[in-house]
Amino acid sequence: MAAADGGASARKEIIQTALILSGLTAFEFLIAFIWKDVGAAIGVEEEFAKLMKNLLFIILTLFKAFYIVAYFMHLKHEIRRLSVTIVLPFLFIIWLIIGLMLEGGYWGAGVDAEQTTLNKVEMVEDNA
Amino acid sequence: MADVSVDPKALSEGERPIFQASWGKLFMWFFLVSDAFTFSGLLIAYGALRVRAGSDGYNWALPEEVFTHAPILHEIFHIDAPLVFVGLMTFVLILSSVTMVLAVEAGHRKSKKEVQKWVFWTIIGGITFLSCQAYEWYHFISGTGIYYNAEDHRFESGGMMLSASLLEESQETAPKIVGLEDKKVIVFYPGGLEHFYENKIHGAHGGDGGGGHEEATKLGLRNGAEITNKGDIKKLLEHAHHSHDGSFVMKWDEVGKSGLEKILKKTGTTPADIASVKVYAQKSINGDTLRMVMRNGYEITYPSLIQTLKKPGVKVDQEGHIAKIEEDGYYPSQGGASMYANQYGRKAFANLFFFVTGFHGTHVFSGVILLIILYLNVRKGTYEKRGHYEMTEKIGLYWHFVDLVWVFVFTFFYLV
């Protein structure tokens, strides 16, 4: 890695990555603050706008993760089999995410331990 | 990795290093993969619990509102600044990652002075981040207060861990009570109201304490009135319905029959009284008010709201408005963390929030310790003598990983 140019190109890459990461984070802030108003201005349904916002945040996060791992952690410059060895196990994580997100809605269905029993008088009236 | 010489003979299996990275770095990678699995597990558990909680918006914390304090803005100006402080923390960590990778790069050139400089700045970044987290946690633990806006009778979060439902609830209960006016339901509490909730808080079944259906010696009403006459109790319970939480309920139109009105009149309860808003305090064993029960059955557990409602000047009028709070104001919380009540909204959210951000903070702390050791060794010339700065790379990997985890924590706890 001791580059012939005294590390100038490596430093350039670092600065570029840093700028990208800062830019993405700043963009996330902007979204967090203005998304609601923009959505309202266009006339999008609130639930849908929220879903899109979250999706966008997750995509941006994955971008940031990629830049950190690839450039700061240098994985892009390691030989291929090392990077594959490290990245492949995360297929299991993807599987777990898909699994639990899909099943999460059914988990503990009908048993809501955290709902206090006192919340609503209306509930009582069903018995009456 | 020309700098890092690996002796093929040192490898017990295979003739050549298949990853062309030193064992040290390789095992740091393997450790990080396993650590990433730990964090993934926690974050996915968080996601699943959140999906489970449903998406009607009242069941989970508002991510942007989780922490709305910022130094100076909060202490001096009492201004809410959602996300600002957490955003600052994010930038600090990104910057420290940049200085770290610059240290690694300087290490490749074996420039002791530069490595020393960049490692130093990375340590400063790490300590700054930890201090920020200490500020945040201090505010969570000591309780963060609430703003009351007198003009539109609204309670606003003053920067706290807040579930949307709690905020809604406090807005609902304080200014406007829905539903009860037309429904007019009377609820009787065996053993009296205080006793009933005492039992609830300590986990006993509400009905047990005051005696069951037959043996009840006292019935409490939400307005604080109590009925102790045996004949009256019997008559009331004949008409009342047993509810699922151990109390007894009766619709107002059922009261008209068989002299029940008279019984209620004796206690001073009138129809107008029933429609009005009253707040009842539930004390914990050390005398703090734990929760208040509104006339319509809503509960308030948020400490500073309780504190507000307990102020002597506060009265609630018959339309259900809090009539006597006249000033806008900041009501500092008297509560904060306690062993008796959960002040942090939805339990699953609070548990994972504190665990995951705390666990990440622990990683940052370990990272700072490693960096300090690295810094001292660089200064001493340990790596100069060794001929390479590979230790910087290994600790650098760890430090970037910490940054990486924060990127996810930030997204899932404060943004999404």
- Measured between alpha carbons, how far is B188 from B248 in angstroms, rounded to an integer? 5
- Residue B251, pLDDT score: 62
Other beta carbons within 10 angstroms of residue B42's beta carbon come to 19
Number of structural domains (chain B) is 2
Dihedral, CA of residue B302, residue B303, residue B305 and residue B311, to nearest 10: 160
When pLDDT is cut at 50, 70 and 90, the band that residue B61 belongs to is: low
**Running DSSP on this structure, what letter comes out for residue B136?**
H
| Residue ranges making up the domain that contains A72 | 8-102
- Contact by Cβ (8 Å): B96, B32: no
- Asked if the C-beta of B183 comes within 8 angstroms of chain A's C-beta atoms, the answer is yes
Q: Which residues are CB-neighbours of B215 under 8 A, at least 6 positions away?
A: none
- Residue B242, pLDDT score: 67
| More confident site: B376 or A127 | B376
Phi and psi torsions of B323, nearest 5°: -90, -30
Whose tokens are 């919340």? That residue is: A119
Helices (H), A43-128: 46-67, 80-87, 90-103, 121-125
- Range B50-62 average pLDDT: 62
What percentage of chain B has pLDDT greater than the value 90?
Answer: 30
| More confident site: A97 or B314 | A97
Q: What is the token pair recorded at B283?
A: 């004390």
Contact A118 B102 (CB under 8 A): no
When pLDDT is cut at 50, 70 and 90, the band that residue A117 belongs to is: very low
Contact A72 B296 (CB under 8 A): no
When pLDDT is cut at 50, 70 and 90, the band that residue B344 belongs to is: low
Other beta carbons within 10 angstroms of residue A37's beta carbon come to 9
| Residue ranges making up the domain that contains B403 | 22-143+348-415
Regarding whether B321 and B176 lie in a shared domain, the answer is yes
- Residue B259, pLDDT score: 67
Contact B411 A3 (CB under 8 A): no
Contact A28 B105 (CB under 8 A): no
Task: Look at residue A117 and tell me if it is in a domain.
Answer: no
- Measured between alpha carbons, how far is A57 from A27 in angstroms, rounded to an integer? 10
Per-residue pLDDT of B195-234, as tens digits, reads 665 565 444 444 443 344 445 677 777 556 777 777 777 7
- Residue B60, pLDDT score: 66
Regarding whether B248 and B138 lie in a shared domain, the answer is no
Regarding whether B115 and B85 lie in a shared domain, the answer is yes
Contacts of A73 in chain B (CB under 8 A): 396-397, 400-401, 404
- Asked if the C-beta of B115 comes within 8 angstroms of chain A's C-beta atoms, the answer is no
Task: Look at residue A126 and tell me if it is in a domain.
Answer: no
- Residue B343, pLDDT score: 56
Choose the weakest-confidence range: A78-87, B183-192, B367-376: B183-192
When pLDDT is cut at 50, 70 and 90, the band that residue B170 belongs to is: very low
When pLDDT is cut at 50, 70 and 90, the band that residue B164 belongs to is: very low
Contact A128 B47 (CB under 8 A): no
> CB burial class (10 A; 0-12, 13-18, 19+) of residue A12?
exposed
Q: What is the token pair recorded at B257?
A: 């029959």
Q: Is the pLDDT of residue B147 over 60?
A: no
Contacts of B177 in chain A (CB under 8 A): none
Q: Is the pLDDT of residue A29 over 50?
A: yes
Number of structural domains (chain A) is 1
Whose tokens are 């047990």? That residue is: B208
| More confident site: B244 or B232 | B232
- Measured between alpha carbons, how far is B236 from B358 in angstroms, rounded to an integer? 53
Regarding whether B176 and B139 lie in a shared domain, the answer is no
| Residue in A closest to B19 by C-alpha | A82
When pLDDT is cut at 50, 70 and 90, the band that residue A19 belongs to is: very high
- Measured between alpha carbons, how far is B238 from B90 in angstroms, rounded to an integer? 63
Q: Is the pLDDT of residue A118 over 70?
A: no
- Residue B320, pLDDT score: 35
Phi and psi torsions of B311, nearest 5°: -60, 140
Q: What is the token pair recorded at B184?
A: 């007019």
Contact A81 B47 (CB under 8 A): no
- Measured between alpha carbons, how far is A13 from A16 in angstroms, rounded to an integer? 5
Task: Look at residue B157 and tell me if it is in a domain.
Answer: no
ipTM entry = 0.82
Q: Is the pLDDT of residue B299 over 70?
A: no
Task: Look at residue B381 and tell me if it is in a domain.
Answer: yes
List the single best residue of B30, B99, B100, B105 to mutate versus A (max A Cβ within 10 A): B105
Q: Is the dihedral of CA B192, B195, B201, B207 positive or negative?
A: negative
- Measured between alpha carbons, how far is B88 from B133 in angstroms, rounded to an integer? 11
Task: Look at residue B106 and tell me if it is in a domain.
Answer: yes
Q: Taking Cα atoms as reference points, which of B413, B415, B142 lies closest to residue B303?
A: B142
Regarding whether B210 and B78 lie in a shared domain, the answer is no
Q: Is the pLDDT of residue B189 over 50?
A: yes
- Residue B198, pLDDT score: 57
Regarding whether B277 and B352 lie in a shared domain, the answer is no
Q: What is the token pair recorded at B287?
A: 């005398």
- Residue A92, pLDDT score: 93
Q: Is the pLDDT of residue B326 over 50?
A: no
Other beta carbons within 10 angstroms of residue B358's beta carbon come to 12
Nearest to B244 among A101, A103, A124 (CB): A124
When pLDDT is cut at 50, 70 and 90, the band that residue B254 belongs to is: low
Phi/psi region, residue B60 (left: phi>0; alpha: psi -120 to 50; beta: rest), is beta
Q: B179 CA to chain A: closest CA distance, Å?
A: 9
Task: Look at residue A123 and tell me if it is in a domain.
Answer: no
- Measured between alpha carbons, how far is B289 from B282 in angstroms, rounded to an integer? 6
Per-residue pLDDT of B100-120, as tens digits, reads 999 999 999 999 999 999 999
- Measured between alpha carbons, how far is B37 from A93 in angstroms, rounded to an integer? 8
Q: Is the pLDDT of residue B64 over 60?
A: yes
Per-residue pLDDT of B3-45, as tens digits, reads 666 665 555 554 456 777 788 899 999 999 999 999 999 999 8
Strand order of the β-sheet with B299-300 is B279-283, B289-294, B299-300
Regarding whether B324 and B188 lie in a shared domain, the answer is yes
CATH number for the domain including B31? 1.20.120.80
Contact B105 A14 (CB under 8 A): yes
- Range A56-62 average pLDDT: 94
Residues 35-64 of B with CB under 8 A from A: 36-37, 40-41, 44-45, 47-52, 55, 64
Task: Look at residue B374 and tell me if it is in a domain.
Answer: yes
- Residue B43, pLDDT score: 93
SS3 content of chain A, % helix, strand, coil (to 5): 75, 0, 25
Task: Look at residue A38 and tell me if it is in a domain.
Answer: yes
Task: Look at residue A112 and tell me if it is in a domain.
Answer: no
